[in-house]
Each structure stands twice: as structure tokens, then as C-alpha cells.
Amino acid sequence: MKRSCSGPIQFLACVLILGLMTGCSDTIKTIESDNNAYQCSACQNKFYTGKDIFAACCPKCKSYELKEIVSYTCAQNHSNLAPRGSSVTCSTCGNSASRVQFPSEQALKEWGAAKASKAEVSKK
């Protein structure tokens, strides 16, 4: 006679694993959206770095004139990349985009930015 009494335990394990997975995906999301994005004022080069790397100069022309780029989001959640401190009108719906966020890596790639390494954006 083998009556399964492992049902509730398996269920509990599932809930625990699900909980862990949810926790994980939240962490990944935060890391992904946490890039530093820049546009060079001298050569208009667009680039971004990982979250712990702050660019000192342009990876292309080594100019120090960098504009920090952030994402301005409108009420309909359209993302518009622009230099920090600018007043932005949404390019998709025409409403004002005033919510400032870190741009996602996906948005940066679509915008035309290339990822730069720490060595590339450090002063010589």
C-alpha cells in the first residue's frame, strides 16, 4: 500500500522555486536597465557603458565633452533618449515626456549606441 503523501511537499517546493525565480528575474531587470549612456559633443558618437563604469572621454575622438543620455518616458510609456536636463516631447505621440529613467540596453542599441569598455573611455 503506497499512498502518496509527498503531494503537499512537492507543492511547497514548487512555490519556493517559483519564488526564487521571480526574485532572480527582478535582479536581472535592474542590472539591465542600469547603463550609463553618453553622446560625444565633438563627434556625435553615441555609446554606453556598464553600470559601474563612468566615461571620462569619448572612445572615438577622446574628447571630454560628453552629454549624459537618459530615457524620457511619456504617459504612454514611449521611451525617448535625450541628453539629461533637456525638455523632451515624445517622438511617437507628441505628448510631453517627463519621466526620467535609465535607458535599457535594447533602447540604446536601437538608438545606435555601441557599448564601450572601461579602457576605451578612460583618460590616457
Is 56 one of the binding residues for Zn ion (CB under 5 A)? no
Q: From CA 101, how far away is CA 88, in angstroms rounded? A: 13
Q: Does 54 bind Zn ion (CB under 5 A)?
A: no
Strand partners, 22: none
96 binds Zn ion, rule: CB under 5 A: no
Based on the shown chain and the rule CB under 5 A, indicate whether residue 42 belongs to the binding site for Zn ion.
Answer: yes
Residue of 76, 98, 101, 106 interacting with Zn ion (CB under 5 A): 76
Per the DSSP assignment, residues forming a β-bridge with 80 are: 72
User: Which residues form the interface with Zn ion (CB under 5 A)?
Assistant: 40, 42-43, 45, 58, 60-61, 63, 74, 76, 78, 90, 92-93
